[in-house]
């Protein structure tokens, strides 16, 4: 459908129009988005962690794709706009996977992060005590430097 | 303001635009221009002015390195704070306010519409805005050196915790202003980059297909895309660091749940592609100059283009080689070593193509050609010494020594100085309708190329011997007081003075020839690309009649033709 | 300033109008900005167990209402585009005003939500979770405000039938801001 539309309508500059849809078409898509929103909110109530991840993030991806395809008209846009956007997403993915090995762990092969670990433990304790888990940075300031050095 | 009527009359634009051109006052034409050429000039002059400021900074700290503790005229005695601030701002200025505006913004603005055969950039007002934001960023940066506490001194990499709190860096105003200036500069280049990319994609001359686009344009566009895809995390990181500095968040403070290594990643994820952002346009300039003065087709157009794209892709997976000593995961260090060594392949391929272009050619050693050839030779030294730093084993020894400094100056000076001079000497007739003096140009060339090696060859030696980059006075270390090391440092500094002195010749030559130089015709070098079709200097609207494109840009000495060049706009007979 | 629209702007070698093409690149550059911030957040979120405790203090109801508001305003934005395609300038302007209204509602809910959190002692400096929370939502909020301002200017033109193609471009931007929120919502409000 997209190819046919694209070829038919891209006759010249300034006339880059796809077939107009009736407003009801967009309202239907909006209704689908709202159903997905309700599913993503009610998902966590089932209490299953994996299910929550699927309902929360899986549905976020689906919603984003629906908005991109139908509201942003990427379904009838030239294919390479997808490639531009996916290239940018790929850059983010490269960033994540390159950095997570260092930032997302307490222990590496040559180092540990005692300060980060202590921060996490303190936060948990504060939460159990009913506090807000903040305000305990200043007194440990002196340890800041020793955290990420190579501990060989 | 543009109106529909103007747009409708666009086909009669030449006569019409010409009329407009005369109505513009001086302020409209030169202070708030919409013409891409004038905006390019603004970038060029601002960039060169910032480059001069950066060079004077290098004079201050090189004197301190060679003659520690002696007063440096006109700065007086250099204090450690002043030294740190000079080193930091020298680095920032040379990358962000000299190399990028001159190589990408100035040449990009001037060349893209001319070389692809259209009358302006697609968004002239966005273009003007991008320059104004850039100018503002430069003003903020210069101002940051005169606020209480002085300019930021935490190196251009701005690692926390040093950069994150004025408790450590002692510059409560200088550091946030520096960061703010950098962020503004990014915004300016994002706006400019979007303009460049859209112009190339949409506004090429009829008939200009993918492989008919001049290499320099490709390189500027690829560089703009690289910049756009890599700068995002750093913009986010700059906001985070600014909050750390000003309102006391703990994004990069491990005690409060942050991570300083995260900043290093955010920075170098941008910082390494940035090297290729400035390298590729320089490669492009050389690719334009070589075929013209070799009177020979570029040896392998498609190879240059696709290796440039390969370089761009690979540049996203090499950044952590800056962090081998930061305690990053050794398995990641292995991966980044391999990718770093891998990226030298496409870059070498490009240099190989350039040498292939020279092979068997009838070379005319004009000033731009000398600079272009020097770029190949000098950049090769920079590239080869990078192999030692890309391998994590040897990098741990060389890290943060003058060896690293010499290596990246051997890449950046060919890029931002030598290739830029090649470009200026080559396009000067198009910019101002006059030639620069060739004799003084050659004097300037030798006065630049020889002292440049005099500065940085000794620094490879002192770096390998242990000279540490971030040290205010190396004589504090007994093992670094050997006479031969002291001599090498002084030799480097004297070479710097000589090199700076020879730049005076360039400026006199430049400004004298701008008004009094020998007049140049539309196509003084007998070159093929479309900018030489327009009059010199091109009027508002560039072309009397917008050209069509009929062939690739490097058809020199084609057998069976009378003239040894074949302009892109000439229809095949 | 008396200047014609350059011929360059009117050319379209790709078949996509210049303004729209540029807007896609703007969205591309924004993807990396938000991507870098959210990737940084995600790494720490996955490392620290305690952040699920901190996240339990976020207001899911406010987040859900805001998602609903933004999705609905996106509907109005696409209807404005639809009206502009049919050449109905005033109708497009009306839909744009409804979209702006959606943005205003979003900001009001956000303000109420932040007031509640700050009065409970959760400020941007409380700890890094809240720093990310306020930075990410704040950056997104700035995009909402910027979009509303541009939309107002475009609606002003659209009433007179001027620059109707811009209705589509601002719509694209608005949908992108919506998509960013679609990802912020589970990251901050749902995953506890």
Q: Express each pLDDT in C8-30 by its tens digit.
A: 888 888 889 999 999 999 999 99
Q: In whole angstroms, give the CA distance from residue C121 to residue C111.
A: 15
Mean pLDDT of C27-40: 96
- Give φ, ψ of B383 to 5 degrees: -65, -45
Q: In whole angstroms, give the CA distance from residue A145 to residue B420.
A: 42
Q: Which of C2, C3, C48, C169 to mutate to test the interface with B (most CBs of B within 10 A)?
A: C3
Q: Which of C10, C29, C125, C130 to mutate to test the interface with B (most CBs of B within 10 A)?
A: C29
Identify the closest residue of chain B to C14 by CA–CA distance: B202
Binning pLDDT at 50, 70 and 90, where does residue C5 land? confident
Residue B324, CA distances (Å) to A92, B24, B342 in order: 22, 56, 17
| Residues paired with residue B72 on neighbouring β-strands, in sequence order | B76
| Token pair recorded at residue C34 | 């938000």
Displacement of CA B251 from its chain's centroid (Å)? 31
Domain ranges of chain A: 2-103, 105-141
pLDDT for A149: 39
| Token pair recorded at residue B84 | 């740190």
Question: Measured between beta carbons, which residues in chain A are less than 8 angstroms from residue C39?
Answer: 92, 95-96, 99
Ordered structural domains, chain B, with CATH: 33-532 (1.20.210.10)
pLDDT for B23: 65
More confident residue, B305 or A150: B305
Q: Which of A104, A111, A148 to mutate to test the interface with B (most CBs of B within 10 A)?
A: A148
- Residue among C11, C75, C186 minimizing CB distance to A60: C186
- C22–B251: do the CB atoms touch at under 8 Å? no
The whole-angstrom distance between A17's CA and the closest CA on chain B is 17
Neighboring chains of C (3 or more beta-carbon pairs < 8 A)? A, B
Residue C60, CA distances (Å) to C55, C64, C192 in order: 10, 6, 10
Question: Measured between beta carbons, which residues in chain A are less than 8 angstroms from residue B262?
Answer: 99, 103
Mean pLDDT of C70-97: 95
- Give φ, ψ of B401 to 5 degrees: -105, 175
Instruction: Tell me the CB-side half-sphere exposure of residue B114, using CA atoms within 13 A.
Output: 29
> Looking at chain A from residue 4 to 63, which residues have their Cβ under 8 Å from any Cβ of chain C?
10, 12-14, 16-17, 20-21, 23, 26-27, 29-30, 33-34, 37, 40-41, 43-44, 52-53, 56-57, 59-60, 63
Helix axes B330-358, B367-390, angle to 10 degrees: 160
Q: In whole angstroms, give the CA distance from residue B301 to residue B480.
A: 49
pLDDT for C3: 53
Count of C-beta atoms within a 10 Å radius of residue B363: 15
Identify the closest residue of chain B to C21 by CA–CA distance: B198
Kindly compute the dihedral angle of the four CA atoms of residues A6, A11, A12, A18, in this order, to the nearest 10 degrees: -40
Residues B175 and B150 sit within 8 Å (Cβ to Cβ): no
| Burial class, C78, CB count within 10 angstroms (exposed 0-12 / middle 13-18 / buried 19+) | buried
- Give yes or no for residue A18 having a pLDDT over 60: no
A76 close to C (CB below 8 A): no
Write out the E strands in C33-158.
Answer: none
Q: In whole angstroms, give the CA distance from residue C148 to residue C73.
A: 11
Q: In whole angstroms, give the CA distance from residue B470 to residue C80.
A: 58
ipTM field: 0.94
| Residues paired with residue B565 on neighbouring β-strands, in sequence order | B556
- Give yes or no for residue A88 having a pLDDT over 90: yes
Q: In whole angstroms, give the CA distance from residue C10 to residue A14.
A: 8
pLDDT for A22: 80
- A148–B259: do the CB atoms touch at under 8 Å? yes
Residue B74: is the preceding peptide bond cis (ω within 30°)?
yes
- A98–B319: do the CB atoms touch at under 8 Å? yes
The whole-angstrom distance between C141's CA and the closest CA on chain B is 14
Question: Measured between beta carbons, which residues in chain B are less than 8 angstroms from residue C6?
Answer: 118-122, 124
Question: Measured between beta carbons, which residues in chain A are less than 8 angstroms from residue C179?
Answer: 64, 67-68
- Give yes or no for residue A9 having a pLDDT over 90: no
pLDDT for C115: 95
Mean pLDDT of C165-189: 95
pLDDT, tens digit only, all 573 positions of chain B: 333 333 333 333 333 444 444 567 888 888 888 899 999 999 999 999 999 999 999 999 999 999 998 999 888 999 999 999 999 999 999 999 999 999 999 999 999 999 999 999 999 999 999 999 999 999 999 999 999 999 999 999 999 999 999 899 899 999 999 999 999 999 999 999 999 999 999 999 999 999 999 999 999 999 999 999 999 999 999 999 999 999 999 999 988 889 999 999 999 999 999 999 999 999 999 999 999 999 999 999 999 999 999 999 999 999 999 999 888 888 888 999 999 999 999 999 999 999 999 999 999 999 999 999 999 999 999 999 999 999 888 999 999 999 999 999 999 999 999 999 999 999 999 999 999 999 999 999 999 999 999 999 999 999 999 999 989 999 999 999 999 999 999 999 999 999 999 999 999 999 999 999 999 999 999 999 999 999 999 998 899 999 999 999 999 999 988 899 999 999 987
> Looking at chain B from residue 158 to 217, which residues have their Cβ under 8 Å from any Cβ of chain C?
190, 193-195, 197-199, 201-204
Q: Which of A123-132, B114-123, C3-12, C65-74 has the lowest mean pLDDT?
A: A123-132
Question: Measured between beta carbons, which residues in chain A are less than 8 angstroms from residue B265?
Answer: 95, 98-99, 102-103
| Helix, strand, coil % over all residues of chain C, rounded to 5 | 80, 0, 20
Binning pLDDT at 50, 70 and 90, where does residue C183 land? very high
pLDDT for A106: 87
The whole-angstrom distance between A152's CA and the closest CA on chain C is 23
Question: Measured between beta carbons, which residues in chain A are less than 8 angstroms from residue C74?
Answer: 30, 67, 71
pLDDT for A133: 43
More confident residue, A147 or B281: B281
Ordered structural domains, chain C, with CATH: 18-190 (1.20.120.80)
Residues of C near B (Cβ–Cβ under 8 Å) read 1-14, 16, 18, 21-22, 25-26, 28-37, 39-40, 43-44, 48, 124-125, 127-129, 131-132, 135, 139
Question: Measured between beta carbons, which residues in chain C are less than 8 angstroms from residue B546?
Answer: 7
SS3 B147: coil
- In chain B, what is the greatest distance between 2 CA atoms, to the nearest angstrom? 77
The whole-angstrom distance between B128's CA and the closest CA on chain A is 25
Count of C-beta atoms within a 10 Å radius of residue A45: 9
Question: Measured between beta carbons, which residues in chain B are less than 8 angstroms from residue C32?
Answer: 228-233
Give me the total of CB pairs closer than 8 Å, taking one residue from chain B and one from chain C: 163
Question: Measured between beta carbons, which residues in chain B are less than 8 angstroms from residue C137?
Answer: none
Q: In whole angstroms, give the CA distance from residue A29 to residue A40.
A: 17
Residues B122 and B176 sit within 8 Å (Cβ to Cβ): no
pLDDT for B5: 37
- Residue among C47, C125, C179 minimizing CB distance to A104: C47
DSSP state string for B60-116: HHHHHHHSTTS-BTTTBSPPHHHHHHHHHHHHHIIIIIIIHIIIIIIHHHHHHHHHT
pLDDT for B29: 80
- Give yes or no for residue C162 having a pLDDT over 80: yes
DSSP character at residue B259: -
| Burial class, A8, CB count within 10 angstroms (exposed 0-12 / middle 13-18 / buried 19+) | exposed
Neighboring chains of A (3 or more beta-carbon pairs < 8 A)? B, C
DSSP character at residue B521: -
Whether the CA torsion B56, B61, B62, B68 is positive or negative: it is positive
pLDDT for B310: 96
Residues B284 and B354 sit within 8 Å (Cβ to Cβ): no
Residues C177 and C106 sit within 8 Å (Cβ to Cβ): no
pLDDT for B19: 41
pLDDT for B131: 96
Residues C164 and C92 sit within 8 Å (Cβ to Cβ): yes
Q: Which of A80, A87, A89, A102 to mutate to test the interface with B (most CBs of B within 10 A)?
A: A102
Identify the closest residue of chain B to A146 by CA–CA distance: B254
Q: Where are the alpha helices (DSSP H) in B145-214?
A: 166-169, 174-202
The whole-angstrom distance between B76's CA and the closest CA on chain A is 34
Mean pLDDT of A111-123: 89
Count of C-beta atoms within a 10 Å radius of residue B297: 18
Question: Measured between beta carbons, which residues in chain C are less than 8 angstroms from residue A17?
Answer: 85
């Amino acid at each position: 459908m997209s190819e046919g539309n694209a070829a038919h309508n891209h006759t010249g500059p300034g006339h880059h129009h796809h077939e107009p849809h009736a407003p009801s078409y967009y309202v239907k898509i909006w209704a689908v988005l709202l159903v997905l929103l309700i599913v993503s909110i009610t998902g966590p109530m089932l209490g299953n962690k994996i299910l929550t991840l699927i309902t929360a993030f899986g549905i976020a991806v689906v919603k984003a794709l629906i908005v991109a395809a139908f509201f942003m008209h990427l379904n009838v846009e030239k294919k390479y706009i997808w490639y531009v956007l996916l290239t940018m997403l790929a850059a983010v993915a490269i960033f994540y996977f390159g950095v997570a090995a260092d930032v997302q762990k307490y222990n590496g092969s040559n180092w540990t992060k005692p300060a980060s670990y202590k921060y996490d433990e303190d936060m948990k304790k504060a939460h159990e005590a009913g506090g807000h888990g903040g305000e305990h940075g200043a007194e440990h300031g002196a340890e800041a430097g020793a955290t990420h050095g190579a501990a060989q | 303001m543009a109106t529909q009527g103007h747009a409708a009359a666009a086909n009669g634009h030449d006569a019409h635009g010409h009329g407009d051109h005369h109505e513009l006052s001086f302020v409209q034409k030169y202070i708030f221009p919409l013409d891409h050429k004038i905006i390019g000039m603004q970038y060029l002059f601002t960039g060169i002015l910032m480059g001069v400021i950066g060079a004077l900074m290098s004079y201050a700290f090189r004197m301190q390195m060679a003659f520690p503790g002696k007063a440096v005229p006109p700065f007086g005695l250099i204090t450690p704070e002043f030294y740190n601030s000079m080193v930091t701002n020298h680095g920032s200025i040379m990358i962000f306010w000299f190399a990028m505006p001159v190589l990408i913004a100035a040449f990009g603005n001037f060349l893209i519409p001319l070389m692809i055969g259209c009358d302006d950039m697609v968004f002239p007002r966005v273009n003007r805005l991008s320059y104004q934001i850039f100018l503002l960023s430069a003003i903020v940066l210069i101002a940051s050196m005169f606020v209480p506490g002085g300019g930021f001194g935490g190196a251009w990499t701005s690692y926390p915790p040093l950069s994150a709190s004025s408790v450590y860096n002692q510059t409560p105003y200088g550091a946030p202003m520096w960061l703010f200036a950098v962020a503004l500069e990014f915004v300016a280049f994002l706006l400019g980059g979007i303009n460049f990319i859209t112009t190339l994609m949409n506004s090429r001359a009829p008939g200009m297909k993918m492989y008919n686009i001049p290499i320099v344009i490709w390189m500027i566009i690829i560089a703009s895309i690289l910049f756009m895809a890599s700068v995002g995390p750093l913009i986010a990181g700059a906001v985070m660091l600014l909050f750390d500095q000003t309102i006391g968040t703990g994004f990069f403070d491990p005690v409060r749940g942050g991570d300083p290594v995260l900043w290093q990643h955010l920075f170098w994820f941008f910082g390494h592609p940035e090297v290729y952002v400035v390298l590729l346009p320089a490669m492009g300039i050389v690719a334009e100059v070589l075929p013209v003065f070799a009177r020979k087709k570029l040896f392998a157009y498609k190879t240059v283009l696709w290796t440039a794209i390969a370089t761009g892709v690979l540049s996203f997976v090499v950044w952590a080689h800056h962090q081998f000593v930061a305690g990053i995961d050794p398995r990641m260090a292995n991966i980044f070593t391999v990718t770093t060594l891998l990226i030298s392949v496409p870059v070498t391929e490009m240099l190989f193509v350039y040498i292939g272009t020279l092979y068997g050619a009838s070379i005319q050693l004009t000033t731009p050609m000398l600079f272009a050839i020097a770029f190949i030779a000098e950049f090769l030294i920079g590239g080869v010494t990078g192999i030692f730093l890309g391998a994590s084993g040897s990098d741990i020894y060389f890290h943060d020594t003058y060896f690293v400094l010499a290596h990246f100056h051997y890449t950046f000076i060919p890029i931002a100085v030598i290739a830029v001079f090649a470009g200026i000497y080559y396009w000067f007739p198009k910019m101002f309708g006059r030639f620069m003096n060739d004799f003084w140009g050659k004097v300037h060339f030798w006065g630049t190329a020889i002292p440049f090696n005099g500065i940085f060859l000794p620094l490879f030696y002192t770096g390998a011997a242990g000279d540490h980059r971030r040290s205010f006075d190396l004589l504090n270390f007994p093992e670094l007081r050997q006479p031969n090391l002291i001599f090498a440092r002084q030799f480097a500094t004297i070479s710097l003075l000589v090199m700076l002195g020879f730049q005076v010749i360039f400026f006199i030559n430049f400004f004298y020839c701008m008004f009094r130089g020998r007049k140049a015709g539309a196509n003084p070098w007998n070159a093929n690309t479309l900018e030489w079709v327009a009059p010199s200097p091109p009027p508002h609207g560039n072309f009397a009649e917008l050209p069509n494109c009929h062939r690739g840009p490097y058809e020199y000495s084609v057998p069976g033709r009378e003239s040894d060049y074949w302009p892109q706009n000439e229809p095949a007979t | 300033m008396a200047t014609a629209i350059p011929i360059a702007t009117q050319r379209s070698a790709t078949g996509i109008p210049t303004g729209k093409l540029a807007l896609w690149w703007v969205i591309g550059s924004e993807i990396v900005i938000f991507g870098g911030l959210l990737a940084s957040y995600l790494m720490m979120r996955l490392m620290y167990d305690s952040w699920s405790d901190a996240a339990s203090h976020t207001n899911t109801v406010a987040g859900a209402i805001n998602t609903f508001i933004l999705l609905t305003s996106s509907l109005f934005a696409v209807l404005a585009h639809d009206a502009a395609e049919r050449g109905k300038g005033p109708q497009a302007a009306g839909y744009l005003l409804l979209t702006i209204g959606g943005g205003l509602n979003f900001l009001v809910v956000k303000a109420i939500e932040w007031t509640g959190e700050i009065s409970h002692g959760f400020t941007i400096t409380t700890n890094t979770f809240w720093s990310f929370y306020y930075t990410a939502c704040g950056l997104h909020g700035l995009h909402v405000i910027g979009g509303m301002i541009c939309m107002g200017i475009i609606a002003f033109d659209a009433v007179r039938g001027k620059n109707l193609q811009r209705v589509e471009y601002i719509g694209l931007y608005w949908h992108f801001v919506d998509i960013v929120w679609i990802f912020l919502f589970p990251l901050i409000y749902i995953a506890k």
